[in-house]
Structure 1
Amino acid sequence: MADGLSDTGYLSGQTNAANNAELVARIAGLIQAMDLEVAGPQETRRMLNVH
């Protein structure tokens, strides 16, 4: 499954991300800062009804 961030190269402002992993980590941090849980692979598949 793609993360959908391939065309986004910035972490913040003019700071370029080295790879998608940095972008995903940033998003996960934002989710956790809102006291929410990041869904794991199995939960994401269930939520999207992907088997």
Structure 2
Amino acid sequence: MSAKTLKCRDCDTNNATTAIDCVVCGLPLPRSRVRGARVSRVRRSRDLC
């Protein structure tokens, strides 16, 4: 996944390692939280935002 599709924890964090901004709310993504996220969690709840 590219950095352009990243979402922050509040909007569904995915597992990218180099996050910049959430595509949903525009907030910057903490790298440590992004690294700890799992893809499966995002795929299960992808449309929450």
| TM score, norm. by length of structure 2 | 0.29
| TM score, norm. by length of structure 1 | 0.29
More strand by share: 1
Larger Rg: 1
